[in-house]
Structure 1
């Protein structure tokens, strides 16, 4: 393998695919995405009632998904409403399908 710095060796598409895959690498995050995909949006408190985890743990998983761009949040105190980021969700699906093709 040539002596190429890691950042230059992997394509932007590969880096993005890995970012999405990392965000999906926990069953709670999969459950969150399934919950959000089944409805238009969902409030943090409602998700906390649906999922068998502490609110603080839920917040950490939502932060990971949001950081990867798979979900988006609308912060209107005292509530935060989350939705699937449709464009990035479709991109993640396409990139991951490409890996498994």
Structure 2
């Protein structure tokens, strides 16, 4: 299985994206702190299932701190997906925009007229 598949699977769920956002805002939260953020919507078991999917994708890394497990965001897999998938498609788009800008700033008729009037 492609390692990017696990990242796409993890990012496909809005709850998992919310967990990543919480860790982005304050890295090193405990499991209990994350569960508190979802108290009104989900059980501890539900949060733990989401955390296991994020851990499988290597988006969340757990570090033991005494009896507490601290969770840390690992943005590297997201960057790898962006480099592999997003940037290659964005390159064509940005190249087209640069070409459009060149065309608008230096239209072919303007170049021909200015060259012809200079003689």
TM-score (norm 2): 0.63
The structural deviation recorded for 1:96 is: 4.5
Length, aligned pairs only? 88
Q: Within 5 Å, which residues of 2 pair with 1:1-101? A: 15-51=2-38, 52-76=41-65, 78-98=67-87, 101=90
Unpaired runs of 5+ residues, structure 2, are 91-119
Q: Are the equivalent residues in 1 in contact too, given 2:62–2:69 (CA < 8 A)? A: yes
Q: Comparing both chains, which one has the higher relative contact order based on Cα–Cα distances under 8 Å and sequence gaps of 6 or more?
A: 1
Query: Structure 2: how far apart are the matches of 1:100 and 1:50?
Result: 36
The structural deviation recorded for 1:20 is: 0.8
TM-score (norm 1): 0.72
Q: Which has the higher helix share?
A: 2
* Structure whose alpha-carbon radius of gyration is higher: 2
**Residue 100 to residue 79, structure 1, CA distance change in 2 (3 Å):** farther
Query: Structure 2: how far apart are the matches of 1:83 and 1:53?
Result: 21
